[in-house]
Amino acid sequence: METKQSFFSVGFELVLRQRPLPYDLYINSSAIVEREKFVRIFPLGGVLCDADLKEFKRKYHQLYVHESQRDSYLRALAKNELVSDTEKTKVIKDSAIHYLNGLFAPDKEYTTEVLAESIEGCRESVESMIDVLEDYDISKVQKLIADLSFHDFYTYDHSINVSMYCISLFRAWKPNAPRNEIVMAGLGGLLHDLGKIKIPTRIINNPGKLSDEDFSVIKKHPGYGNELIQESHCDCEGVDFEVIRRIVYEHHENFNGTGYPQGIAGVNIHELARVTAIADFFDAITTKRSYHEAMNVDDALAVMARAVGKKIDPTLFKIFTESVNKLKFTGKTNRELPEDFDPCQPHDVLPFQPIKAEVKRNDLFGKEPTNFGKVKTQETPNKKKKAA
């Protein structure tokens, strides 16, 4: 007899048909919660047809897959042409939340083993997400996210959305990038707020204006995440922990050197941290939440353009806007967000302010050398300024 925690439920319509099944199917043969007993009803490698699933649905209340086969289930689902991308993404998102909850749930005890297991599970979710988003530009990703439900814990939804945008932006930037680099882009986006497991939930989920004291606590999360990865000594197949560490540590660094925690600038910031910063910003202002309305894409791009060369990388933002299929900005440009705007925080009202100074369009986009996983020096001063 195995406990229910070793299994997860799957929808009848989401089970693979007409091809060898890469996982086993189970049912719970006991009606007593305390005495759940899972029995295999269909073996790995067997081929199901529509009539089989119809009969299963008639006979059984729910189907289950063993937790050890979650990756196989997700991979098969991502390539199942009979299921819509929205339905696929909902399942993948729920799977990612399952693993993020292993890290962020306040009743969970953090250990190196928990971190390794959660990151491995997150990697599996990202792999499946990459398959679903294979032909998606930023615009299509944004529409897909709009169709998904959100949860009570802002960090979960936001991190998953950021991961999806990171995958799409990185592919637009480097269409010939090997899959392992795309996985690191998506996984870095999913884990960018890892350090928040050490931040009180009351601060993380506060949609109002944070006090100076609480904001100083929030600003510690990149450092916390950096320490967690450095001290864990995890080893997960297919995960470059040095790349993930730098994304976690550097995603709040600003392109002009005014960010935190190190105050580094330009290409000294890891390229995937710069990708994450754009995805982070865009999701924070375009995803509808219970406490604020979303900006439309045109207005969001116009607001982000005000931060080009300051908070975000000009070259990457140009690629980002092209991926949204916008050749020119048509949104309102008479407002901007303050330099200390934190995309990782929920906001009941986005803190817009009047524009301080006009930015010439010709200055918005520049070219910067890029290098995956390495640091390049540049003449931009590294002098630490006011954190943004």
Q: Where do the domains of the chain lie?
A: 1-83, 85-363
In CATH, what is the architecture of 85-363?
Orthogonal Bundle (1.10)
Torsions phi, psi of 211, nearest 5? -70, 160
Q: Which contiguous run of DSSP H or E holds residue 64? A: strand 63-66
Lowest mean per-residue pLDDT among 27-41, 45-59, 165-179: 27-41
Express each pLDDT in 346-363 by its tens digit.
555 565 666 665 444 434
pLDDT at 216 over 90: yes
Of 62, 61, 81, the residue nearest 18 (C-alpha):
81
Most confident of 38-42, 330-334, 356-360: 38-42
Please tell me the distance from the alpha carbon of residue 350 to that of residue 241, in angstroms, as a whole number: 34
Q: How far is CA 171 from CA 164, 233, 279, 329, in A?
A: 11, 29, 13, 23
* Paired residues of 7 in beta bridges: 66
Lowest mean per-residue pLDDT among 24-38, 216-230, 237-251: 24-38
Residue 270 confidence class, pLDDT cut points 50, 70, 90: very high
Task: Compute the average pLDDT of residues 112-119.
Answer: 87
Tracing tokens 């070259």 back to the chain, one arrives at: 315
Structural tokens at position 376: 């390049």
* Paired residues of 38 in beta bridges: 28
Fill in the amino acid letter for 188.
G
Query: What SS3 class is residue 41?
Result: strand
Please tell me the distance from the alpha carbon of residue 336 to that of residue 306, in angstroms, as a whole number: 7
Structural tokens at position 145: 């996210």
Residue 376 confidence class, pLDDT cut points 50, 70, 90: very low
Please tell me the distance from the alpha carbon of residue 285 to that of residue 378, in angstroms, as a whole number: 31
* Paired residues of 66 in beta bridges: 7
Residue 375 confidence class, pLDDT cut points 50, 70, 90: very low
Structural tokens at position 148: 């998904």
Mean pLDDT score across all residues of the chain? 84
